[in-house]
Amino acid sequence: MAYIHQFADATTCFEIIKRKHSGILTTSLTTDAVSLYDLDFTQSVALVFGNERDGVSEEISKLADGNFAIRRLE
């Protein structure tokens, strides 16, 4: 079952998510991004997707524990 929650600010949202998951990763094409195919899904992890044009905001990226890319990285 999926739940939808709306938050007024990102910090509160991430604090609540971090209580339930071992990490929060955002989509990004940065040099430190890990391929989606290399993520360890044996742990509870929250994935944050940005919009196609702008991606995730800088604020969200800074609050996250890391970045991933939805393709195989070479």
Coil, strand or helix: which one is 60?
Answer: helix
Compute the residue count for the chain. Answer: 74
Per-residue pLDDT, averaged over 11-35, amounts to 91
Record the pTM.
0.82
Closest alpha carbon to 49 in 22, 69, 23, 74: 69
Domain membership of residue 45 as a residue range: 30-74
Q: Is residue 14 part of a domain?
A: no
**Whether pLDDT at 16 is above 70:** yes
pLDDT of residue 73: 60
Structural domains in the chain (count): 1
Q: Is residue 48 part of a domain?
A: yes
Q: Is residue 10 part of a domain?
A: no
What gap in Å lies between CA 49 and CA 42, rounded to an integer?
20
Q: Is residue 24 part of a domain?
A: no
pLDDT of residue 14: 95
What lies within 8 Å, CB to CB, of 11 at 6+ separation is: 63
